[in-house]
Structure 1
Amino acid sequence: MTPRKGERPPLPEPLPAPVIDAHTHLDACGAKDAADVAAMVDRAASVGVERVITVADDLSAARWAAAAATWDSRVFAAVAVHPTRTSAFSDDDKAVIEELVRQPRVVAVGETGLDFYWDYSPPAAQEEAFRWHIDLAKRVGKPLMIHDRDAHEDIMRVLHSEGPPERVVFHCFSGDADFARRCVDAGFVLSFAGAVTFRNARELRAAAQVVPVDQLLVETDAPFLTPHPFRGRPNEPYCVAYTLRDLAELRGMDVGDLASAVRDTAIRLFRLPTMTSHDSVGE
């Protein structure tokens, strides 16, 4: 058992350059209202995590994420229906997602994809929903944020069949170095969460070393996948600083250089606006 398992990890040393948490779930972290959101992004900002993208996995979360992105200028949203929740994905559900994704502070369609680890939704239903989300991303001109669990080849098959949107990011990348190279060659961006810091994740750590820095993002996927050495404790966006530092050491890079590079990639991929001094301290 991890010591103090129920406690958040301590705040890390502030990063020498700002970074963006490219995928988190503020609602699942416990945020309910604007005050909760502000407290979480304040903690993140105190260590150099200047902005976050809060991501939905069902309709309720999608509505919440889109609203939360209007409560604090440091928060953006992505909306979709998670593959494990697609067993009854109706036309009405699609209409809600399409309405939300067109809001200006919703910057991606996600997370969508395939998940063959859980059996909550049949593969055929997942694939049908994935194809619909791909088409939506192309129609609205926003990046596709992919959830891929135990489904690498089928993800690539569907993307090839449909034709990928211009911008694609594999959230919480989980493949090996060979799969990473294939994704990179296809022009996709790979986002690494706390799992890449786990010392037994040898194939994932090898993958993180072959991704060009301009196709690399860092994320928390909070409240899940808290980075080493705090695995099992509650995760929050500020913990992306731990993952960033570990990635820099793994890749033999300066921490500030890596932070600046992945920040630039996030801004380019999600077309985020320029920060202002007001943004740095929130609403």
Structure 2
Amino acid sequence: MLVDSHCHLDRLDLTSFQGSLDAVLDAARARGVGHFLCIGISIENAATVRAFTERYADVDCSVGVHPLDLVRGGEPTLDWLLDELQHPGVVAIGETGLDYYYQTETAAMQQDSFRLHLDAARTTGKPVIVHTRDARADTVALLREADLPQAGVMHCFTEDWDMARACLDLGYYISFSGIVTFRNADMLREVARKVPADRLLVETDSPYLAPVPHRGKKNFPGHVADVAAFLAQWRGEDYEQLAAQTTDNFKRLFPLARVAG
């Protein structure tokens, strides 16, 4: 069994599935995907992702505000976040983090929000889902400053081995998306080869970043099987073994998730 450890079910284009999210999830289940973590990115979509967990037994969610949604969607307060995290379907915090690629001018706002999410993680004991782009030094510095007793995940990892090793040393897991299959992702593939098996996760980040052989097309949770197959081949591991290992890793990192088995 596989877990799609990071997907945005509320943003999928359902046209090719006759408008049915049920059909999307059934297609993924047919490919061996047994659980889905739907990610919160804003104050606005928190209710939506929570509702998915009430509708589907194999969907859990996170709640948080993405660094690029702070200006458009509003900055969270600690009280709001802690209140949202009480819902039984909310098993993680985020996604949060830093993204200087698109918005260097909001760096201070992003850092304040990241600290707030990390404070909520310390208070609740729930793991944090970290987005980082062009902000290596500040991301690692804030994770070290937080010094959380429980682990989190560096989602859709695209950085170098030095950053991966720093995050691993802090107890974080490393998650790979379809980017690892892209032709120009040689550096990332070397990182993927080095990450310890017990700290590895797979994801789609759907509807974004469809892996080869779906590159350039719409991405769906079932495509996590393609990410896993690529990583298994690249790392010289058996596919079923990698699927089982990444599922075990997910269950260890997200102990409140309702993963079957």
Are positions 1:116 and 2:104 aligned together? no
The verdict on how the C-alpha distance between 1:242 and 1:90 changes in structure 2, with shifts beyond 3 A counting, is closer
Are positions 1:83 and 2:67 aligned together? yes
Aligned counterpart, 1:28: 11
Aligned counterpart, 2:124: 140
The alpha carbon displacement at 1:138 in A equals 1.2
Partners of 2:62 and 2:92 within 8 A in 1: yes
Question: What SS does structure 2 have at the residue aligned with 1:205?
Answer: helix
CA separation in 1, counterparts of 2:196 and 2:99?
A: 26
Are positions 1:129 and 2:113 aligned together? yes
The alpha carbon displacement at 1:121 in A equals 6.1
Return 114-123 or 229-238, whichever deviates more. 114-123
The alpha carbon displacement at 1:223 in A equals 0.3
Query: 1:250 is matched with which residue: 234, 237, 241?
Result: 234
CA separation in 2, counterparts of 1:51 and 1:194?
A: 18
What is the letter of the counterpart of residue 191 of structure 1? Answer: S
The alpha carbon displacement at 1:184 in A equals 1.6
Aligned counterpart, 1:96: 80
Query: 1:216 is matched with which residue: 200, 220, 230?
Result: 200
CA separation in 2, counterparts of 1:173 and 1:150?
A: 12
Partners of 1:115 and 1:151 within 8 A in 2: yes
The alpha carbon displacement at 1:274 in A equals 4.9
Partners of 2:140 and 2:166 within 8 A in 1: no
Aligned counterpart, 1:157: 141
Query: 1:67 is matched with which residue: 37, 40, 51?
Result: 51
Task: Flag structure 1 segments of 5+ consecutive residues without an equivalent.
Answer: 1-17, 277-283
Superposed CA deviations along residues 31-77 of structure 1, whole A, max 9, x for unmatched, are 6xxx8332221111000011100001111211100111110001000
CA RMSD of aligned residues (A): 1.8
Superposed CA deviations along residues 73-112 of structure 1, whole A, max 9, x for unmatched, are 0100011000112234154xx4433222221111100100
CA separation in 2, counterparts of 1:121 and 1:75?
A: 35
Aligned counterpart, 1:178: 162
Return 181-190 or 129-138, whichever deviates more. 181-190
The alpha carbon displacement at 1:153 in A equals 1.1
Q: If the length of structure 2 is used for normalisation, what is the TM-score?
A: 0.93
Aligned counterpart, 2:26: 42
Q: Percent identity?
A: 39
Are positions 1:191 and 2:175 aligned together? yes
The alpha carbon displacement at 1:210 in A equals 0.6
Question: What SS does structure 2 have at the residue aligned with 1:124?
Answer: helix
CA separation in 1, counterparts of 2:207 and 2:105?
A: 23
Question: What SS does structure 1 have at the residue aligned with 2:24?
Answer: helix
What is the letter of the counterpart of residue 150 of structure 1? Answer: D
- Runs (4+) of structure 1 moved beyond 6 Å? none
Query: 1:228 is matched with which residue: 212, 215, 230?
Result: 212
CA separation in 2, counterparts of 1:99 and 1:36?
A: 30
Question: What SS does structure 2 have at the residue aligned with 1:122?
Answer: helix
Partners of 1:112 and 1:146 within 8 A in 2: yes
The alpha carbon displacement at 1:135 in A equals 0.5
Aligned counterpart, 1:264: 248
The verdict on how the C-alpha distance between 1:274 and 1:123 changes in structure 2, with shifts beyond 3 A counting, is closer
CA separation in 1, counterparts of 2:86 and 2:105?
A: 27
Count residues with an aligned counterpart: 255
Partners of 1:181 and 1:210 within 8 A in 2: no
CA separation in 2, counterparts of 1:90 and 1:211?
A: 33
